[in-house]
Structure 1
């Protein structure tokens, strides 16, 4: 039987950590009626000019497929967090716009998100946090 090399152990540890952190953040954000994936959509839209993105760009930004982001956006549209917007230059491009309700929910959820993120990193110095950010950015 072949043992895992250190890179495989790193991958396994990262995957397990990601699952644990996602579950924890989903629980915290559920108080605002959204999941972590929905929060990431709201964050991306809130962070763009005019709070509008194409579905394809949004999917790329949050790490989902185009069909995955469409499935995620459908209930968000029903809950008035986002809305479809027509692209005046190309009718084939589907745009997503953050609504006023979505912006309000995002701002409220951001407080919980920031607090939870602080709790996750409470045992680390700001230098260690920055070092981790740099190291994770190098992973392919």
Structure 2
């Protein structure tokens, strides 16, 4: 039973990703959107690259591969740490903030549509279970 639950979570995750990536999220992927979401919710709109990677569930090298095109698009910038050259930050730009706000409208409506058949109480219970599994955005 537990294995089937995990496999079904992975299947649902794949379906959700396909649904969102098929939308017009203002030229960004669902992963890009998640990064912008995380950065927009922290003080100063910046995080250490490793903390951002952990927050999204990726490795540091994985986040670096994703951040590079986002940086070229002007959505984020990399900042060096004055005290420690080994530590770098990823910061949301004003363009990134604008794209995030516009994409959030579409993402919010799509999320509501996808979960429309589930009561608010059931959603709260489900969110609690996801948090217990590490889904703490």
Query: Any idea what the Cα deviations from partners look like across 1:42-99, whole Å, max 9, x if unmatched?
Result: 0111111110111100000000110000000000000000001121222220111100
TM-score (norm: length of structure 1): 0.91
1:90-105 to structure 2, matched below 5 A, reads: 90-105=84-99
Q: CA RMSD in A?
A: 1.1
Question: Does residue 1:17 correspond to 2:12, yes or no?
Answer: yes
Q: 3-state SS of the aligned residue for 1:71?
A: helix
1:54-73 to structure 2, matched below 5 A, reads: 54-73=48-67
| Structure 1, gaps ≥5 residues long | 1-5
| Structure 2, gaps ≥5 residues long | none
TM-score (norm: length of structure 2): 0.93
Runs of 4+ aligned residues of structure 1 deviating over 4 Å after TM superposition are none
Greater Cα radius of gyration, structure 1 or 2:
1
